[in-house]
A and B are shown apart, each in its own frame.
Chain A
Amino acid sequence: MGIGSKVRRLALLAGMAACAFGLSAAQAAEKHKIFLSMSYIGNDWQAEAANMVKAMAAHKSLADKVDLQVQVAGPNAQRQIQQINAMVQSGAEAIVVYPISPTALNQVVKNACDKGVKVFAYDAEITEPCAYNVHIDQLEAGRVTAEWLVKKLNGKGNIIAITGVPGTSVDDQRTKAAKEVFAKYPDIKIVGEAVGMWSQAVARTELSKILATRNWDDINGLWMQVGCFTANSMQLEAGKKTSELLPCAGEGSNGGRIQMLPEGTEVEGAAAPYAPAGAQRISYASPPYSGALALKLAVEAIEGKDVPKTTILPLPLVTNETIKLCDEGTWAEMKAGCNAFKPSLVSNPGWFASIFSDQTPEVGLNAALVGQPEN
């Protein structure tokens, strides 16, 4: 090997290095610093939503563009205020936030907006006008589910209502809208009402308390924000046949969805009560993909695209007519219309199954389970 070739090679290497250096510098400059400020992560919904946001950030379409940092504020609004301030200080371009309070963050969010930071709230809303909001219409959720129940009962019967966390806007809107519907039918009577805190476990204790002085036979229907899976399980334990299960308007947990499948359907990993029972249901949810979508929109907003201040997500509704079991849970499969997952894949029946959106082909079942994006 002559000296000439050596020099050539060195020059080539140097050129390549320069090239690579230039590239990486350009890439670093392009990466957007985005923060996720979560609330309390001690429940299934929050953890699932966080997984989906992480998966979105890791998807090949965004991985080169986004530098995502996730922080938890706990249930304390004061800490979230402090956290958002600190995020603005450390140079955030956008902040995706699960707001602990729709109003308490207004000042700090306004502050962030003034500094040019885009603030995206998912699931719940921030009332400060400069914030972007991504959520479902909670009034619609309350109304549609109540109307379904009234229709199932032919406008007559005793119902039990299990609400969410008192003092939150989401609970207030859903419950108010539903009660307005029930008020139109004088023969529909709410005979029991309890606070379910959006938890299957709480729903069970509250239902047990109500049923201590009542009988399943005195009740004709159930309206619950979370807890239909539990209510059905309790009726089966009390010796009811699957054909006698009361109609239940409620949440989009996978357990509830599996129970909606016609009895006798072959489902891998199913074991009673997490098994097909032909339960009469309407299943709705605040979809946990909203955080992932918010992140995607945030990147678009940073890149200068026009993003509307409010994105109202279509209300994911599943009834016995539209229920369909997924095979693997890829986005493509869900696009084709499936909306329930095998217990062998999702072992937690309380897991929220409304993870499909037309707008987020980056995330499927694996995103929600383990934070892994689609290919």
Chain B
Amino acid sequence: MSSAAASSPATGGVGLRRALMRNRGALIAAAVLAILLFVVDWISAGPLTYFDVSFLSSGGATSALAAIGQTIVILSGGFDLSAGAVISLVNAVLASSMDPMAPGASIILWTAVGIGVGMAVGAFNGFFIAVLRMQPIVVTLSTMFILQGVTLLVMDKPGGFVSPDLGTFYLGDAIAGWLPMPLVVIGVVLLAWFWLKGTRFGTALYAVGSDPDSAASVGINVVLVRFAVYVIAGGCYGLAGVFISAQTGSGDPLVGNPLLLSMFAAVVVGGTRLGGGQGGPVGSVFGAYILMIVVNILLVLNVSAYYSTIAEGTILVLAALAGSISHASVLAVQLRAARARLAAWRAGILPSQLERVDRRLKIAEPAHAQRNPASPRPAFHLRNAETLRYALPAYVCLLLIVVVTQVWLGRAILNPGYWNSLLVLSSFLAVLALGQGTVILTGGLDLSVPWTIGISGIILAGMVNGSDAALVYALPVVLVMACAIGFANGFGIVYLGISPIVMTLATNGILQGCALLYSQGTPAGFSSPMLRWVMTAKLAGLLTPIVLLMVVFVVAAVLLLGRTPFGRRVYGIGNGLRAARLSGIGVERTLILVYMLSAVCAAVVGVMLTGFSGQASLGMGDDYLLPSIAVVVVGGALITGGRGHYLGMLGGVLLLTALQMLLAGTTLPYATRAILYGLVVLGAVMALRERRLQ
């Protein structure tokens, strides 16, 4: 920015172009928002008045403020899942501590309280992430559970009181008839951000996000920057919590939780790259408003209820596509590459068209044949030190949990029923962990898991309808459908260049719509006797058949990731996309296969859940999204890809399931359970700390 201002008139054009390029994401998001506003204006009955704009501005403000915080975290290379829970907590704290009898409320005081609560949570996150060097996704996921518990302790049901003074201030007009207050609040936060960005700290933040090692070696205090980032972001969520309190005038302990996923969508639509170093909060603000204005468009177009999630998903993909239109976009690159391949094929110079001669270097013998018997293979624990270091903690904690269960509830270690239940209940997440885990190994994320599970179960139950014979064709149909879903995800990500989070989030919405349309709101049919037998019968009174199948599955999964070319390609891509491509890995094909694997795993879980429950229901996959990510990370995988072992993930699955079984056996209140759950997860991954930066 400053370079553009300082440049001489002769180079002004270049400077301007550079400034435009640097802010392309935000500019395109702004353009998309403008187009959408125009569309709303055009298709609705009356013209857009100041009143409409004022409503819109307050409607999107909470998301926008929270998205600013999330963007700053993402710019630093982090990830914050606790954002929605902070908003709920601030809302609950304000609503339960304001006195309805008091004549007026101090706006400054209560705003400070809200921001302060947010910053305190941010400091908690920051301590574990920056000082103890733990993975942001696990820390903030644990924080999310802990906060949900704390919020319920503060306020166990909707109610409370937020002074109308807050509402009058935050929702009023800054300049009557011209400028609504919410826009001013967002503007002030953005100005503060611009100031911050210009300081040394701002530069350090981008540097840490781009490459922490280089940042550290040029003398940036990486720990301090990271810590500060979470505190600042916490402040933003806190302000968002204050805003929603002002807007609703009361408290609801669940109000912020559903904002989380759309917040990520807002950040990505706004042009910020997940993984850090590129983008900025301005775009995220536009992103948040784009997502909000979709509500109005659906209303004006009178999109039927069942189609609304499909429409939203489509709009999300289109917005993301619009944001990536440029010469350098993935789509353009892919098209150019295809053209080049076509030209090469015409000219007959494609590698496959050339004469095949073995041009490999003649290295005498494979290395292992020459091993000197005097230096034996290193011991198992040395060869697999890296894997063990990351996979073992989950198993150690599992052992602890089982012992605690035995002491507290009795009837665990020597009770075969306990182990059988543990394995049966783990089987769902164990299957999901392979799919989600493989996606995470490549550095992606699959958010379409919930409704892939849902639609698979619903279609299977509808086709099977209690007949074992029908299972023979229903199962393949469902699996083929899952392949198609995974292919669509992979295609969008690889060839259209849409970020995995946005693409799979959109797919999830579209699948939800399809499931509703297919079932007309009431899923028909039920599981066949055989499927139910597999999931619920007890062989010899002890062992459920699915446990035996799980053993086979685990062996197959370990072999798939550890002993096949596919597995090696997955790790290769996760460790470095460019390096993988240059070493001749078919990155596109592998990635599409990875997303297909994930969708198939989700479909299998849908089938298993249908057998387990006896029927399929809408929303039956909803509770499996965050756990599927959590187990992968608790099992030692790196969320940015490239590191992790399936056995570690399996350990994560068993640990979390055993923990839930322990908590379910107690009569502790739900809030306490949520807090304990969060603390144990946090404790379990303490051992997974990153090594100190050199």
Contacts and interface: CB of A to CB of B under 8 A. Distances in A.
Contacts of A41: 305-306, 516, 521, 618
B202 interface: no
Contact of A192 (B157, B299, B665): B665
B205 interface: no
Contact of B248 (A79, A82, A103, A234): A103
A195 interface: yes
Contacts of B151: 167
A103 B618 contact: no
Contacts of A369: 522
A212 B418 contact: yes
B667 A192 contact: yes
Contacts of B536: 234, 237
Given A43-B617, A89-B55, A210-B665, A205 B425 contact: yes
A127 to B, nearest CB: 7
B159 A208 contact: no
Contacts of B254: 101, 165, 167-168
B405 interface: yes
B45 interface: yes
Given A212-B421, A350-B615, A70 B305 contact: yes
Interface in A64-116: 69-79, 81-83, 85-87, 89-91, 101-107
Contacts of B512: 42
A370 B522 CA distance: 9
B537 A237 contact: yes
Contacts, number: 239
A204 interface: yes
B152 A167 contact: yes
A167 B52 contact: no
Which of A50, A347, A349 counts the most chain B CB atoms within 10 A? Answer: A347
Which of A107, A205, A212, A347 counts the most chain B CB atoms within 10 A? Answer: A212
Contacts of A40: 619
Interface in B258-315: 258-259, 262, 292, 295-296, 298-300, 302, 304-306, 308-309
Contact of A71 (B308, B618, B620): B308
A71 B52 CA distance: 19
B437 interface: no
Interface in A4-44: 38, 40-44
Given A103-B248, A201-B617, A47 B665 contact: no
A90 B299 contact: yes
A141 to B, nearest CB: 16
B248 A70 contact: no
A147 interface: no
B625 to A, nearest CB: 13
A351 to B, nearest CB: 6
A72 B309 contact: yes
Given A76-B259, A86-B296, A199-B620, A209 B664 contact: yes
Contact of B421 (A51, A105, A200, A208): A208
B210 interface: no
A251 interface: no
Interface string A199-230: 11110111011111110000000000000001
A120 interface: no
A90 B300 contact: yes
A286 B253 CA distance: 22
A78 B617 contact: no
Contacts of B465: 347
B247 A107 contact: yes
A262 interface: no
Given A72-B305, A76-B259, A208-B425, A127 B618 contact: no
Which of A69, A73, A82, A211 counts the most chain B CB atoms within 10 A? Answer: A82
Contacts of A172: 156-157
Interface stretch (B70-78, B132-140, B408-416): B408-416
A106 B249 contact: yes
A314 B159 CA distance: 25
Contacts of B258: 74-77
A32 to B, nearest CB: 16
A197 interface: yes
Contact of A212 (B159, B251, B422): B422
Interface residues of A, number: 83
A308 interface: no
A182 interface: no
B454 interface: yes
A204 B613 contact: yes
Given A168-B157, A233-B614, A348-B523, A212 B619 contact: no
Contact of A106 (B244, B248, B418, B422): B248
Interface string B230-256: 000000000000001001111111110
Contacts of B300: 86, 90
A162 B104 CA distance: 42
A224 to B, nearest CB: 14
Contacts of B304: 70
Nearest to A370: B520
Given A77-B252, A81-B59, A210-B665, A104 B614 contact: no
B158 interface: yes
B623 interface: yes
A76 B262 contact: yes
A48 interface: yes
Contact of A86 (B299, B305, B309): B299
Contacts of B203: none
A169 interface: yes
B59 A103 contact: no
A103 B252 contact: yes
B29 interface: no
Contacts of B411: 213-214
A284 interface: no
Contacts of B45: 90-91
A243 B15 CA distance: 84
Given A101-B254, A209-B660, A212-B417, A79 B537 contact: no
A206 B664 contact: yes
A50 B523 CA distance: 15
A317 interface: no
Given A42-B454, A72-B308, A86-B295, A213 B405 contact: yes
A40 B411 CA distance: 40
A69 B619 contact: no
A348 B613 CA distance: 12
A43 B159 CA distance: 25
A173 B454 CA distance: 30
B613 A82 contact: no
B224 to A, nearest CB: 34
Given A47-B521, A201-B609, A87 B661 contact: no
A143 B644 CA distance: 51
B27 interface: no
Contacts of A165: 254
A271 B306 CA distance: 31
B522 A77 contact: no
Interface in A174-214: 190-195, 197, 199-202, 204-206, 208-214
B541 to A, nearest CB: 8
A85 B54 CA distance: 11
B516 A42 contact: yes
A55 B244 CA distance: 36
9 contacts: A70-B305, A72-B308, A76-B259, A104-B250, A105-B248, A165-B254, A167-B152, A169-B157, A350-B615
Given A85-B59, A213-B411, 11 more contacts: A47-B522, A104-B250, A105-B248, A167-B253, A197-B623, A201-B617, A212-B665, A214-B665, A271-B526, A348-B522, A348-B526
Give the 7 A-B residue pairs with the shortest CB-CB distance, closest first.
Answer: A47-B521, A212-B421, A103-B250, A209-B664, A82-B59, A42-B619, A172-B157
Interface of A: 38, 40-44, 46-48, 50-51, 69-79, 81-83, 85-87, 89-91, 101-107, 127, 163, 165-169, 171-173, 190-195, 197, 199-202, 204-206, 208-214, 230, 233-234, 237, 271, 273-274, 347-351, 369-370
